């Protein structure tokens, strides 16, 4: 991945209008992707979905034109969650799926993610081939071989039926009062619709997208908005999605957040007790160490992958596991969906909660979370502060101070120009002191 020009850990992402997030680049990207996909066999058809960003219209049209120029047929889904595109790519037999989204980022960012015909992230090799093809002169196939475009009119219903099929047929939410925060994003309509069909009383917030308010003070990036509304409404639970619908957080009736680590514990414990857990649970370098200790106490193996759901997925496949995720709310349940799916994960958690009869607050208190804090140090693009001797010395000092008491993670973000400094320990004062000294060292070298 180090030699990549465009693809990062989660597709291609950046500020709209700045390379490579421009209409002309998307035109070239569409042609390159179409050319590579056609060369791999199959019909080369592609489904395209997007979140609710205003810039999505521009990039949808550009990608569509580029793909058609390469001879690939296009099925347009309109605003759809990222995991819905993954599902519909498989269900329609398409060669690939494209999502136009910058996930949890503000509206002025956008990006592109690709899915394979199996509904999984593209391999590094195919991404590299697409990057190579982008650099080639733009060429259009013979006019008689151009692709065609059509809208998939029943996309929403097909996806909702799929999600509903992932829980037992008798599962319902009658009598449950739920506040749903759609983040003014791709799940703004589908989330409430699904829960209402299951019998829940739904109060929807973050459900009025205008192209500019995606993730703005709402959704998984701002769960405090939902938490306050859950308490004010006297609701049983709150559900927060992110802008593209692959992350989910729950809020208990007291207004406390259950993040991805909590959801992994809830699902892993239940599966272990019911004999339906296969393989290890997979988290990331950022997964709270307290969760690893709690799973170990239950006899559940736990592995850490690099940060990013594609790496969690890869390690799950390699290790024969089915359950993994990140604290941010990406939860993968591979025997139910091929990628992280916020609606599938939410239903899985609600089904366990209803069947066991436990309060969601009890899940939070069932394992002990170590203090974990992160400082994001902004750096100039191309800067390499982690190679600085000063940072190396500060890092070694921090490791010595944490020995036997916690751990730290120092890593560049794969989606924005920051270095994330994360410190975890049993003592908040120690965490703060190390975070300050190590963060300052990175900042001075940036």
Q: Point out the residues that are catalytic.
A: 103
Reported as half-sphere exposure (CB side, CA atoms, 13 A), residue 80 has a value of 29
Using alpha carbons only, give the angle 238, 242, 246 rounded to the nearest 5 degrees.
100
φ, ψ (nearest 5 deg) of residue 225: -65, -50
Q: How far lies 75's CA from each of 33, 78, 164, 186, in Å?
A: 15, 9, 23, 18
- Cα–Cα distance between 349 and 366 in angstroms, integer? 15
3-state SS, residue 412: strand
- Cα–Cα distance between 235 and 252 in angstroms, integer? 9
380: tokens are 């100039």
For residue 34, give every residue at least 6 positions away whose Cβ sits within 8 Å of its Cβ, in sequence order, or none. 44, 46, 66, 67, 68, 69, 70, 71, 72, 147
H helix runs in 135-239, sequence order: 155-164, 190-197, 223-233
φ, ψ (nearest 5 deg) of residue 132: -65, -40
H helix runs in 135-189, sequence order: 155-164
């Amino acid at each position: 991945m180090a030699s990549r020009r465009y693809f990062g850990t989660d597709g291609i992402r950046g500020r709209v209008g700045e390379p490579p997030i421009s209409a002309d680049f998307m035109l070239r990207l569409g042609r390159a992707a179409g050319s590579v996909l056609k060369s791999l066999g199959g019909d080369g058809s592609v489904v395209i979905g997007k979140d609710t960003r205003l810039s999505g219209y521009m990039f949808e049209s550009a990608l569509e034109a580029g793909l058609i120029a390469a001879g690939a047929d296009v099925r347009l889904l309109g605003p759809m969650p990222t995991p819905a595109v993954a599902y519909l790519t498989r269900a329609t037999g398409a060669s690939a799926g494209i999502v136009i989204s910058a996930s949890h980022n503000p509206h002025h960012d956008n990006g592109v993610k690709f899915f394979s015909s199996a509904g999984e992230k593209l391999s590094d090799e195919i991404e590299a081939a697409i990057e190579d093809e982008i650099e080639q002169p733009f060429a259009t196939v013979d006019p008689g071989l151009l692709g065609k475009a059509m809208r998939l009119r029943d996309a929403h219903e097909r996806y909702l039926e799929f999600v509903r099929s992932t829980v037992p047929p008798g599962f319902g939410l009658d009598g449950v009062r739920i506040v749903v925060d759609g983040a003014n994003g791709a799940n703004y309509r589908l989330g409430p619709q699904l829960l209402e069909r299951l019998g829940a009383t739904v109060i929807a917030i973050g459900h009025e997208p205008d192209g500019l308010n995606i993730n703005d003070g709402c959704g998984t990036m701002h769960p405090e908005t939902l938490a306050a509304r859950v308490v004010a409404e006297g609701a049983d639970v709150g559900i927060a999605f992110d802008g593209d619908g692959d992350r989910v957080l729950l809020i208990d009736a007291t207004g406390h957040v259950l993040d991805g680590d909590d959801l992994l514990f809830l699902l892993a414990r239940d599966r272990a007790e019911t004999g339906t857990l296969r393989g290890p649970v997979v988290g990331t370098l950022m997964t709270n160490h307290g969760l690893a200790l709690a799973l170990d106490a239950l006899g559940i193996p736990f592995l850490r992958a690099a940060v990013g759901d594609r790496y969690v997925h890869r390690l799950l496949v390699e290790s024969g596991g089915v359950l993994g995720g990140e604290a941010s709310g990406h939860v993968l349940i591979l025997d139910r969906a091929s990628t992280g799916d916020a609606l599938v994960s939410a239903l899985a958690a609600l089904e366990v909660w209803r069947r066991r009869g436990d309060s969601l607050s009890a899940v939070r208190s069932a394992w002990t979370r170590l203090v974990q804090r992160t400082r994001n140090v902004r750096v100039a693009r191309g800067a390499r502060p982690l190679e600085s001797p000063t940072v190396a010395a500060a890092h070694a000092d921090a490791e010595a101070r944490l020995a036997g008491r916690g751990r730290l993670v120092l890593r560049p973000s794969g989606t924005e120009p920051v270095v994330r400094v994360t410190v975890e320990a049993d003592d908040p004062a120690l965490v703060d002191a190390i975070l300050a000294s190590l963060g300052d060292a990175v900042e001075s070298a940036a």
